[in-house]
């Protein structure tokens, strides 16, 4: 069971020049367009209405400029390719740090008949991988009912739990046991970009899978995190 309106993967980039100044965000948009996604105006319906799409080069350029203007009210980029849609939003929580969030609406992830969870969860990870390959990322995680680590903890290299999806950039890998992480049993455990992406269970992206996450926490950190049910009952 999902516990919020969206499923969010958040990544932190500390590389200078930033992903906006370096053109990395523009490259990411181009990669999504090249694999068949379309930029849309917000979360419109129906998605396939031509009036709801950003098609011209000028429209796409303006959307990218808005995304990099952290004071702009409409700075979220929305992408659609039937039957899936997702969004990307940037923020700057600290000087020199860009936080990028890639998120999908829970009802989109599950589908109208609650029968697309695994299919769309896999597609969600595909678009996350494209982002990780394109945007220099220090650390990232996907969270559902649990909050992600604070940006201050991330910058200090303090991450103490395994999430449904976890990304450790190259410099962050020096703070964990690289070989142990590479050997963690998982639905997905592979090198992506300059780091390592670990997804203990595809089911944990769209439904409760406490057992898989508990086993992952036991493997990497030597302890078991409280289950979602336990946290809600506290």
pLDDT value at position 3? 56
Q: Nearest-CA neighbor of 172 among 140, 149, 142?
A: 140
- For residues 17, 18, 24, 28, the Cα torsion angle rounded to the nearest 10 degrees is 170
Query: Where residue 1 falls among pLDDT bands split at 50, 70, 90?
Result: very low
**Token pair belonging to 8:** 């969010």
Mean per-residue pLDDT for 192-214? 90
Q: Indicate the angle between helix axes 24-34 and 57-67, nearest 10 degrees.
A: 130
Domain spans, the chain: 6-233
pLDDT digits (tens, 9 = 90+) for 127-180: 999 999 999 999 999 987 678 899 999 999 888 899 999 999 988 887 777 888
DSSP state of 55: -
pLDDT digits (tens, 9 = 90+) for 45-71: 777 788 889 989 999 999 999 999 988
Average pLDDT of the residues of the chain = 88
Mean per-residue pLDDT for 11-39? 95
107 phi and psi angles, rounded to 5 deg: -70, -30
């Amino acid at each position: 069971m999902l516990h919020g309106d969206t499923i969010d993967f958040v990544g932190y980039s500390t590389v200078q020049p930033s992903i906006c100044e370096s053109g990395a965000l523009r490259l990411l948009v181009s990669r999504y367009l090249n694999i068949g996604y379309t930029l849309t105006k917000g979360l419109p319906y129906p998605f396939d209405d031509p009036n709801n799409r950003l098609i011209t080069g000028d429209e796409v350029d303006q959307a990218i400029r808005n995304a990099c203007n952290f004071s702009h009210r409409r700075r979220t980029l929305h992408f659609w390719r039937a039957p899936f849609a997702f969004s990307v939003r940037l923020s700057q929580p600290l000087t020199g740090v860009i936080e990028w969030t890639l998120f999908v609406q829970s009802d989109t992830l599950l589908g109208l008949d609650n029968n697309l969870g695994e299919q769309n969860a896999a597609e969600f990870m595909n678009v996350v991988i494209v982002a990780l390959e394109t945007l220099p990322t220090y650390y990232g995680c996907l969270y559902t009912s649990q909050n992600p680590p604070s940006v201050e903890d991330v910058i200090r290299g303090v991450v103490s739990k395994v999430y449904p999806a976890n990304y450790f950039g190259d410099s962050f890998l020096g703070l964990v046991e690289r070989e142990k992480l590479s050997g963690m049993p998982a639905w997905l455990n592979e090198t992506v970009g300059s780091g390592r992406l670990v997804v203990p269970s595809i089911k944990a992206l769209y439904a409760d899978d406490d057992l898989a996450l508990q086993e992952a926490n036991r493997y990497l950190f030597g302890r078991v995190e409280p289950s979602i049910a336990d946290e809600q009952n506290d």
